[in-house]
Each structure stands twice: as C-alpha cells, then as structure tokens.
Amino acid sequence: MKKIGSLNLIGNTPLIKLQNIKVPNNVEIWIKYEAGNPTGSYKDRMALSVLSEAMKNGKVKLGDQVIEYTGGSTGSSLAFVSTSLGLNFTAVFSDAFSSSKKQTMEAFGAKVIVEKSYGKGITPELLSRMKTKAYELSQKPNTFYADQFGSINVLKGYIPMGKEIKNKLGNIDVFCASVGTGGAIMGTWNGLNSHNSKLVAFEPLQSPYLTSGKGGPHLVEGIGVGFEPPFLNRELISDIKCIDQVDAFKMCRRLAKEEGLFCGGSTGMNVFGALEVAKDLKYGSKVVTLACDNGLKYLNSNIYQTN
Ligand SMILES: Cc1ncc(COP(=O)(O)O)c(C=O)c1O
C-alpha cells in the first residue's frame, strides 16, 4: 500500500478552552480543534479509516476509483487520503456548498461532478439526487463506494478522537456536537467511553428533522441532512437542541474575534449549543465540543460576509 507521510498528521489535535466568551455557571467549554488536520477538518479521520481498511481487506486496490457524494469536507478528506494511498477519487458535489471545497478536492487530483441546487440551498431533494448519481457511478468496475453514510469504519475513525479527549481531560460532564451522518458524535462518544457524561446533539432550527421528523433548506454545511443519520444512536442521547443558523454564524464571527478560532458554521453551532447546555449545568462543569473544520473554507460563504 502506497502511504505518504502527511497521513501521519491526522489526529492528535489540540484541545482549547474558551477563554473570553462568557460561559453560564462558569462552565469550562473545551473545543477539540479539528481544523488542525491536514485538510482542516475532522473528516480526515474517517477518510483514513474507511480507505485504509478497504485496502487492507482487498475491497479497493491501487489505481481504483473511489466514489462519494459530499458537501465537500468529506470529499476533501477522501481526495487527500485517496491520492496519498494511490487511489483516484470522484466526488458528486453541488453548487450549494462552498466553491473553495471544490477547489480543494481538485487540488488533490479529484474529479468533481456538480449537481445544480437552483439557488434553493441544501435540500433533501438535492442530497437525494447527489446520492443517486454517486450510486450510479459506483456500479462501474474498479470503483469503490466510500459509503460515508453506511460504513462502520466511519465510526471507527473517530474513536481515537474520544480517546484523545479522555486522555487530556479525564471525566467530563457533557459531550455535544451537531449531526450530519452522526459518525463524529457517536464515534467520539464510543472512544470517550464515559458512562457518567451526557451526550447532547444539535441540529439546525431551519432543518429540524431529528426533533420534528421534517428537514428543510438551511445553510450550515455538513449537518442537518433531512433524514435519519445512520450512525446516530438515539438511545445514548440525553437531549437534542435546535440551534438557529443565524446564531451559529454569529458565533463563528465571535469565535474568530474573541477567541482567535477560525471555524465553519457547524462549529459555530457546536459552540453556541455548548453555551446553551452550560445554562443547565452545575458551577464549574466540563463540556467538550468539536471545532469541525477551518473558517478558511467559508470565506466566500455568508458566514464571514457580514459583521
Ligand atoms: C463541516 C462539517 N461539520 C459537521 C459535519 C457532521 O459530521 P458527521 O457527518 O460526522 O455527523 C460535517 C459532515 O460532513 C461537516 O462537513
């Protein structure tokens, strides 16, 4: 298996405590800064797990074509890991997502097919169209469907993240995160193996599928998929909170200015949500959430276009 050194840069990211944003009840909010991964996103962890396991098991071999439909973060990670392992990658993408993510995938040598959103944003209809296209492509010979919504290796890829948090902080009170496939929140939770903590999930108020059964158009890339996230184990979740995307994006701008943390919309949602969670906690409790990815990917989206 071809393996290049930059794959070793995946994981072992910093844990950073909020310093300047005032947190209710003096709760400590810790942020796992996943922008520290090579493509600036925690998706590098799942891409490495999925593709290296598939190569080990002979499901994909050098020179094969990896296929996935993606909003671009998973795609950037799959593009990066594919080229590092000697594979090719084709992404089914859409103009509803940041164009810089398309450029990133292409920089790593990926082929990017763009499904039109017709200005309607990220809708369940668009995602379903992208999925059909990806499935069609994956029927060709010498292709491998990465299956970010089904592969057990997605979950496995995030277990080290939970372990890294546990090694640094010991027991925590709450782990919370927003949900796309549910891979990051559940895999990290498995790695945390912390039975006395609570697990809280967030979703966009504009696409409240988890709490109401109905998704809708929204602007927070990577989450709020409008169907049951395959990896989400509702039995382990204590609470699901709906967060307005406007508050999430405002939080992104505050994080940059007040904490020096430059992140995307799902991270804004995670931190805004963590502050909501803190309102109901005892003085000095510990909450951990994720900085899913880097703000540089969103310079041409509406997160950083306003003040
Ligand atoms: C930027 C971003 N945040 C959050 C998520 C959600 O992660 P998960 O699919 O593991 O639930 C994604 C998934 O694509 C993402 O791209």
Domain ranges of the chain: 5-41+152-298, 43-145
Q: How far is the CA of 231 from the centre of ligand 1 (A)?
A: 12
Task: Give the distance from CA 21 to its chain's centroid.
Answer: 23
In sequence order, the 6+-apart residues with CB closer than 8 A to the CB of 237 are 199, 200, 201
Name the residue with the closest Cα to ligand 1, atom 5: 222
> What's the confidence (pLDDT) of residue 224?
92
CATH number belonging to the domain at 43-145, selected among 3.30.420.130, 3.40.50.1100, 3.40.50.1370, 3.40.50.300? 3.40.50.1100
Domain 5-41+152-298, classified CATH 3.10.180.10, yes or no? no
pLDDT one-digit tens code per residue, 240-258: 999 999 999 999 999 999 9
The Cβ of residue 214 has, within 10 Å, a number of other Cβ atoms equal to 10
**How far apart, in whole angstroms, are the C-alpha atoms of residue 199 and residue 176?**
6
Does residue 1 have a pLDDT over 70? no
Beta bridge partners of 177: 201
Residue with tokens 């909450």: 287
Q: Are the C-beta atoms of residues 172 and 194 closer than 8 Å to each other?
A: yes
Q: What is the DSSP letter of 40?
A: S
Q: Do the domains 5-41+152-298 and 43-145 sit in the same CATH topology, yes or no? A: yes
Does residue 301 have a pLDDT over 90? no
Average pLDDT of the residues of the chain: 95
Which of 45, 46, 68, 73 to probe ligand 1 with, by most ligand atoms within 8 A of CB? 73
Q: How far is the CA of 182 from the centre of ligand 1 (A)?
A: 8
**How far apart, in whole angstroms, are the C-alpha atoms of residue 35 and residue 297?**
10
Cβ(266) to ligand 1 under 6 A?
yes
Q: pLDDT category, 201, cuts 50, 70, 90?
A: very high
Which of 101, 175, 223 to probe ligand 1 with, by most ligand atoms within 8 A of CB? 223
Secondary structure class of 263 (helix, strand, coil): strand
Q: How far is the CA of 138 from the centre of ligand 1 (A)?
A: 22
Cite the beta strand spans of the chain per DSSP E.
Answer: 15-17, 28-33, 65-69, 88-94, 111-115, 143-145, 174-178, 198-204, 239-243, 286-291
From 30, 46, 35, 28, select the one nearest 13 (Cα to Cα).
35
**What average pLDDT does range 144-153 have in this prediction?**
96
How much of the chain exceeds pLDDT 70, in percent?
Answer: 98
pLDDT one-digit tens code per residue, 56-81: 999 999 999 999 999 889 999 999 99
Q: How far is the CA of 24 from the centre of ligand 1 (A)?
A: 27
Q: Are the C-beta atoms of residues 199 and 189 closer than 8 Å to each other?
A: yes
Q: What is the pTM (predicted TM-score) of this model?
A: 0.94
> What's the confidence (pLDDT) of residue 259?
98
Q: pLDDT category, 297, cuts 50, 70, 90?
A: confident
Does residue 307 have a pLDDT over 70? no
pLDDT one-digit tens code per residue, 34-48: 999 999 999 999 999
The Cβ of residue 105 has, within 10 Å, a number of other Cβ atoms equal to 28
**What average pLDDT does range 159-171 have in this prediction?**
97
How much of the chain exceeds pLDDT 90, in percent?
Answer: 86
Name the residue with the closest Cα to ligand 1, atom 6: 180
